[in-house]
Amino acid sequence: MAQADASMDLDTGRETSLERMVTADGIPLKRSLKRAERRRKLFALGLVAPLLAFLLTVFIFPIGQMMWRSVDNPQIINTLPRTVEALEAWDPGADELPPEEVFAALQADFAADQELPRRQQGTGSLGVRLNYEVSGARSAVSRTARQVDGFAVPYKDEFLDAHRLWGQPEIWRVIKRESRPLTASYYVQALDREYAPDGSIQLRDEGQRTYISLFLRTFALSATILGLTFLLGFPISYYMSTLPMRQANLLMIFVLLPFWTSLLVRTSAWIVLLQQQGVINSTLVGLGIIGDDSRLSMVYNMTGTIVAMTHILLPFMVLPLYSVMRGIPPSYMRAAKGLGARPWTAFRRVYFPQTLPGIGAGGVLVFIISIGYYITPALVGGQSGRMISNEIARHMQSSLNWGLAAALGTLLLVSVMILYWVYNRLVGADSLKLG
Amino acid sequence: MAPKDHNDAFVAFDRVQKTYDGEQLVVKDLNLDIGKGEFLTMLGPSGSGKTTCLMMLAGFETATFGDILLDGKPINNIPPHKRGIGMVFQNYALFPHMTVAENLSFPLEVRDIAKAEREKKIARALDMVQMGEFGNRRPAQLSGGQMQRVALARALVFEPELVLMDEPLGALDKNLRERMQFEIKHIHETLGVTVVYVTHDQSEALTMSNRIAVFDDGRIQQLATPDELYEKPENAFVAAFIGENNTLRGKIESVDGQFCRLRLHDGSLVMALAVNIEGVGADSTLSLRPERVYLDVSTDTHDNVFEGDVKELIYLGDHIRVRMDVCGNDEFVLKMPNDSHARRLKVGERVNVGWVKEDCRALDPS
Amino acid sequence: MSQRLLKVIGAGSAVSLLAMSAAQAQDISLTVVSWGGAYTESQVRAYHEPWMEMNPEWEIINDDGSANALAGLRSQSEAGSVTWDLVDMLPSDAQLACEEGIILPIDHDEMLADGEDGTPPSEDFLEGSLGECFIPQIIYSTVVTYNRDMFEEGNYPETIEDFFDTENFPGRRAIQNRPAVNMEWALYADGVDPEEIYDVLATPEGQERAFAKLDTIKDDLVFWEEGAQSPQLLADQEVSFATGYNGRIFEAAEVEGQPFEIIWDGQVVEFDGWVVPADGENVDEVMEYLYWATDTQRLADQASYISYGPARHSSQDLVGQHADLGIDMAEHMPTHPDNYFAPIELNNEFWTDWRDELAERFNNWMAQ
């Protein structure tokens, strides 16, 4: 900092006099300074470059790709260029089928596609894409595309014979609407909205809204887990910070144990512990606290997710808290008491505020990690313990709607960034202390 | 045993003992009275028990045995926050998350003082330490000396009658430390508060204190005013710890009133003031300040005159430090004023040195 | 994430195995993707091991990736590096992959062995089992199973209707977390004829009706995701009923001795089989292997290790005894006349069209 100030001073204030100053071998001082600076910058760049390249390839590039996928929409325009053009004159608002030219164009598009080698044919992915919007579109496309060679004028009748869907204005509206290479439809769906027949966007029927409530649940669960890790982590961190190093390290091992246990071992341990025939329930029944027929459901539901994730994420809260607390000299508490504060006041006004950087760091870590967690909720969360990332994983792996998965992932990313921004405005990210 | 009479003392330690491990006493039988408005310094090497005493007085440590009285009342069972004692810590302990003004406000807020009143007091306290401009700064934005002033202002802002200072100047460089010494001294005189000050730096103690309690081995070795402590140390530890000191060892040959005669190990005979001796035949340590040793003197004017070899000369500007071999002690030092008629000595030269018996104190053998 | 990691590790070990096999003069190495567990085991013992014994220069590596086979095929094809040589997958996914051109079309009569009696493959394989790119292997069924210990003697459930009857047969029920099979059963239990189920299900009213029926047992439902979970939930007595794949249930009941009983009423039958990724490195070798591994005897052999029915007519009579237990396998097959009295044939075309919409709705319904 001081150095930067100094060089700024050199640049502005005394520029003219400096031009005349030269080093012993006659090179202007300023130029040789710049050369030295450049060498230093190159060296610094050399140190950072490998990590930068690594981040670019494994982090920034995939995220960019994900965001791209959430709007990428090539299927219709690539496979049905003639149809798209012919549909331009058609009014999607009117509740009637497009004219014969459009059917002729579709026939030509399908026929052209069938000519291509199999790998380059677009009807497969076209069917998948249209099926996201209209159920049945996939078999309509695949069945019709193979027959179009034999179609005769008027094509309209042939198409209506081939599949009932061609007789519904809805599919034509979708083709027209989604004919641009970029689409907002994945976001529309990810926000529990849908297109009305007139093209406006409206909220879905109550029974069909999924994602907003899932987002909210994810945030609520993460906040609960954050609260629990804080309640459990703060006292133990405080206690550890007052212990001699050796005992503190021993305790730390217990806190870190979940880190060192394989996921499967941990998961089976929770299940053994929490299930209806599990240790806790059997103990409670054995002690007569609950009846045999009213065993508690603690796993395969939200409780399971909360218990398991609190356990896993506790170290992320304890580590920064502990390291911040270790750095707070006991003299502050003494000073506060010496100045007349009761122990509780001294703790609240002097000790606690100084742990805020640790709480902030731990909180941000726990919250952001739990927002994106999906293995544990999938294993012990049942339905009520599912989080948005499980839904993203489902769309990645089983429903294979990668566009929707990408839109949900982007929304998740954006909401995390907004939260981080809010946190930064409220607390200041520079006060984070990770230890 | 009935407690001692501490009627006129503001702070009193009465037979206080302290142990941490139950085996070793860190403070052994401490008795100390501190008067109201006094500036008393606890001086001693580290581990001498001085800080423990301060912490017991502040309430952060409890005495294992004995009573500590404040204004005549025992305070052993009063928690620190109810003692109303101001304290300045070694590393200032300014709360880093509060501004300077908030730091000063803290002791006032916990005392439920109204806002307007608080602001007045804070402004006054900050002005007193010349930090009036800095109320909105955070401690991290201050220099060491500024933090020191703020810590001082915070300890004083709620107007305690007793202020404790635990090596408050230890982290400052020499010039700043000296300036702060005067400022603290000045504030003490202006406000008239009682100050108990802990330090291991004797010059700091000598500069500031009304009285100094020299600690060693869990005991007060001597409690006296700075001049008395320097000029009339009562045992070998105090003599060696305070100021520079020449030490000569020998046996008492005779005692004559308040004077005595010592036979040193090399056979020379020295006349000295009998301060702390056990009698004829006992071992004793002689203490002699370097500035009370003179060059080229005769037995006419000085009781003790010996020859010595000049071993080393160190030029210090206002005086020259001369190391010599005198009476078998080759660490014997004298200070030669660097005035216009100062003699030019050379290493290896043999000269007469002498001193009067009143300046030479016969103390315990140590 | 961890799955990707596993894949990387898998690919890494495949590479090192390749290197090793090169050193041992083993020229051919195939990566075969399947469902894992008892099912992969049956394939290893019926197909892979005998083949490797006959052809020591071959090596077959197993990969348990079939649960996400379509996702894997797509991403390998997009990345331009196809490491899978042979994939076991469901016909509906195979149809999708086929239309996307990422797996090879199959001319069954040309590429596969005739039946032992000389019947060409197009006639020897069970009706409706062949797909454009799909080589059927087994017929399996999804069935409702209960744990005998959870019910009183003499009051055992027998039908799908009983499964939906929480009054006479209380207890929790585990079903898979997807609409297929579950919605069929809901309609079946509600009185719809098995033949008409898909016609009803294609209408909004039919869908409402299925969800309404599912609503009646919703409070008692637990959802499972992976095939291995359902016998586990039953064994732990976490649930009284569980839906599951009949082969896994057989394994748990007969091999592990669990007190499980299958309700064959309303069993939902479907085929499962092989597909060959396009652009694989060993396509010729894979076809050579498949010709042998899907012949009459091999398909019959697999039935000795798991209770799934062979997909060829000519194999049916060759089904013998379980290789380890020595029990007759025929009566444990979904296709055995005693079991095949009220089957529902899974309609893949229906599900390719409706999966996107109904999966969304079903998911929503589960979450509420």
Q: Which residues of A72-97 are buried (b: 16+ CB within 10 A; e: fewer)?
A: bbebbbebbebbbebbeebebeeeeb
- Within this chain, do residues B68 and B94 fall inside the same structural domain, yes or no? yes
CA proximity to B18, closest of B32, B28, B9: B28
Asked, for residue C330, whether it belongs to a domain, the answer is no
CA distance A376 to A310: 11
Asked, for residue B326, whether it belongs to a domain, the answer is yes
- Within this chain, do residues B203 and B59 fall inside the same structural domain, yes or no? yes
| Per-residue 3-state assignment (H helix, E strand, C coil) for C248-311 | HHHHHHHHCCCCEEEEEEEEEEEEEEEECECCCCCHHHHHHHHHHHCCHHHHHHHCCCCCCEEC
CA dihedral C81, C85, C87, C91 (to 10 degrees): 90
- Within this chain, do residues B96 and B39 fall inside the same structural domain, yes or no? yes
| Six token digits for residue B140 | 């991290």
Nearest CA in chain A to C237: A277
pLDDT digits (tens, 9 = 90+) for C234-279: 998 889 999 999 999 999 999 899 999 999 999 999 999 999 999 8
- Within this chain, do residues C257 and C355 fall inside the same structural domain, yes or no? yes
If you average pLDDT over residues B226-237, what whole number do you get?
91
How does residue A141 score in pLDDT terms, banded at 50, 70 and 90?
Answer: very high
- Within this chain, do residues B327 and B352 fall inside the same structural domain, yes or no? yes
- Within this chain, do residues C155 and C247 fall inside the same structural domain, yes or no? yes
pLDDT at position B2, please?
Answer: 40
How many other C-beta atoms can be found within 10 angstroms of the C-beta atom of residue B114?
9
- Within this chain, do residues C188 and C289 fall inside the same structural domain, yes or no? no
Q: Candidates 3.40.50.2300, 1.10.490.10, 2.60.210.10, 1.10.3720.10; correct CATH number of A211-431?
A: 1.10.3720.10
Report helix angle A352-372 to A302-326, nearest 10.
140
Asked, for residue C332, whether it belongs to a domain, the answer is no
pLDDT digits (tens, 9 = 90+) for C12-30: 444 444 444 444 445 789 9
- Within this chain, do residues C236 and C317 fall inside the same structural domain, yes or no? no
Nearest CA in chain C to A276: C238
Query: What's the first-to-final CA gap in chain B, in angstroms?
Result: 32
- Within this chain, do residues B131 and B210 fall inside the same structural domain, yes or no? yes
- Within this chain, do residues C241 and C362 fall inside the same structural domain, yes or no? yes
Chain C residues in contact with A378 by the CB 8 A cut-off are 225
CATH number of the domain bearing residue B284? 2.40.50.140
Asked, for residue C242, whether it belongs to a domain, the answer is yes
How many separate domains does chain B show?
A: 2
Q: Which of residues 313-332 of A touch B (CB under 8 A)?
A: 329, 331-332
CATH number of the domain bearing residue C308? 3.40.190.10
Chain A residues in contact with B85 by the CB 8 A cut-off are 338
- Within this chain, do residues B155 and B226 fall inside the same structural domain, yes or no? yes
How does residue A271 score in pLDDT terms, banded at 50, 70 and 90?
Answer: confident
pLDDT at position C17, please?
Answer: 44
What does pLDDT average to over chain C? 89
- Within this chain, do residues C261 and C289 fall inside the same structural domain, yes or no? no
CA distance A199 to C296: 56
How does residue A197 score in pLDDT terms, banded at 50, 70 and 90?
Answer: confident
Residue C212 sits at the chain A interface (C-beta within 8 Å): no
Q: How many beta-carbon pairs below 8 A join chains A and C?
A: 88
Q: Are C205 and C261 in contact (CB under 8 A)?
A: no
- Within this chain, do residues C313 and C345 fall inside the same structural domain, yes or no? no
pLDDT digits (tens, 9 = 90+) for B246-266: 999 999 988 888 899 999 888
pLDDT at position B7, please?
Answer: 58
How many separate domains does chain C show?
A: 2
Chain B residues in contact with A349 by the CB 8 A cut-off are 106
**pLDDT of A13 above 60:** no
Nearest CB partner across the interface for C364, out of A127, A208, A397: A208
- Within this chain, do residues C157 and C124 fall inside the same structural domain, yes or no? no
Chain B residues in contact with A345 by the CB 8 A cut-off are 110
- Within this chain, do residues B223 and B251 fall inside the same structural domain, yes or no? no
Interface contact flag, A331 B90, Cβ < 8 Å: yes
Nearest CA in chain C to A400: C71
Question: Which positions ≥6 away from A406 have C-beta within 8 Å?
Answer: A66, A67, A68, A69, A70, A186
Q: Are B245 and B231 in contact (CB under 8 A)?
A: no
Interface contact flag, C366 A383, Cβ < 8 Å: yes
Question: What residue type is A151 in one-letter code?
Answer: F
pLDDT at position C9, please?
Answer: 44
Chain A residues in contact with C349 by the CB 8 A cut-off are 139
- pTM of structure: 0.78
Top mean-pLDDT range of B262-276, B286-300, C89-103, C240-254: C240-254
Domain end residue (candidates: B208, B231, B254): B231
Asked, for residue C333, whether it belongs to a domain, the answer is no
pLDDT at position C271, please?
Answer: 95
Domain end residue (candidates: B179, B202, B231): B231
Asked, for residue B236, whether it belongs to a domain, the answer is no
Exposed, middle or buried, A4 (CB in 10 Å: 0-12/13-18/19+)? exposed
pLDDT digits (tens, 9 = 90+) for B104-162: 999 999 999 999 999 999 999 999 888 989 999 999 999 988 998 999 999 999 999 99
Q: Where are the domains of chain A?
A: 2-69, 74-183, 211-431
CA distance B138 to B101: 9
pLDDT digits (tens, 9 = 90+) for C143-193: 999 999 999 998 999 999 999 999 999 999 999 988 999 999 999 999 999
- Within this chain, do residues B254 and B353 fall inside the same structural domain, yes or no? yes
CA distance B302 to B300: 6
pLDDT at position A19, please?
Answer: 52
CA distance B241 to B235: 10
- Within this chain, do residues B121 and B27 fall inside the same structural domain, yes or no? yes
CA distance A415 to A118: 41
Interface contact flag, A277 C238, Cβ < 8 Å: yes
- Within this chain, do residues B20 and B76 fall inside the same structural domain, yes or no? yes
- Within this chain, do residues C129 and C264 fall inside the same structural domain, yes or no? no
> Tokens 């036979």 map to which residue?
B263
Asked, for residue C288, whether it belongs to a domain, the answer is yes
Collapsing DSSP to helix, strand or coil, A152 comes out as coil
- Within this chain, do residues C117 and C205 fall inside the same structural domain, yes or no? no
**pLDDT of A339 above 50:** yes
How does residue C229 score in pLDDT terms, banded at 50, 70 and 90?
Answer: confident
Which of A75, A133, A139 to mutate against chain C (most C CBs within 10 Å)? Answer: A139
If you average pLDDT over residues A271-278, what whole number do you get?
85
Please state whether beta strands B39-43 and B211-216 pair in parallel, antiparallel, or not at all (unpaired): parallel
- Residue B290: DSSP 8-state: G
**pLDDT of A90 above 60:** yes
Interface contact flag, A382 C222, Cβ < 8 Å: yes
- Within this chain, do residues B185 and B325 fall inside the same structural domain, yes or no? no
- Within this chain, do residues B104 and B223 fall inside the same structural domain, yes or no? yes
Asked, for residue B348, whether it belongs to a domain, the answer is yes
Whole-number percent of chain B with pLDDT over 90: 50
Q: Which domain holds residue C161?
A: 140-270+341-367
**pLDDT of A261 above 90:** no
Q: Which domain holds residue B344?
A: 245-363
Question: In this complex, which chains have at least 3 CB pairs below 8 Å with chain B?
Answer: A
pLDDT digits (tens, 9 = 90+) for B156-180: 999 999 999 999 888 788 888 888 8
pLDDT at position A266, please?
Answer: 84
Query: What's the first-to-final CA gap in chain C, in angstroms?
Result: 28
- Within this chain, do residues C239 and C280 fall inside the same structural domain, yes or no? no
CA distance C190 to C213: 7
Q: Are A321 and A358 in contact (CB under 8 A)?
A: yes
Question: Which positions ≥6 away from C69 have C-beta within 8 Å?
Answer: C33, C87, C88, C89, C93
**pLDDT of B366 above 50:** yes
Contact of chains B and C by CB distance (3 or more pairs under 8 angstroms):
no
Chain A residues in contact with B112 by the CB 8 A cut-off are none
